[in-house]
Amino acid sequence: MAGFSDYLEKKLLDHVFGGATYTPPATLYFGLATAAITDSTTGSTVTEPSGGSYARVAVTNNTTNFPAASGTTATKKNGTVINFPEATASWGTVTHFFIADAATGGNILAYAALDASKTIDAGDLPRFNVNALTITLD
């Protein structure tokens, strides 16, 4: 289950209570991290793999990629597979994923620890299958 960053929590609170405009990004960027992420981690301070063709994955923010929330515990899941590029060298041990508003730097919007850490070696094709990522509000 993903948590929201301090950045997004403040934007949503100001939007719902106070009417401050928050425009969600048209493109979301999924990244992997090799160290823990907290609410205060930013897109510039997150510890991502470096080299080996690692890059955040751009996903259009629409209802195909993120179908309508459902359930009494409001749940949102990815509606399409999120494929990372093939690793051309070791990315190390990945422990977390995050969703950001930029291809580099930017703001982290949501994040979570992986169910199990995964060492990414050359030739690996990391991905999140449909419905593998869950974001909830309750």
pLDDT tens digits for range 40-89: 999 999 999 999 999 999 999 999 999 999 888 889 999 999 999 999 99
Q: What is the pLDDT of residue 131?
A: 95
Whether the predicted pLDDT of 107 surpasses 70: yes
Q: pTM for the whole thing?
A: 0.94
Strand ordering across the sheet containing 3-4: 3-4, 108-120, 92-100, 27-33, 57-60
Output the pLDDT for position 2. 76
Query: Is 97 strand, coil or helix?
Result: strand
User: Residue 50: phi, psi to the nearest 5?
Assistant: -130, 140
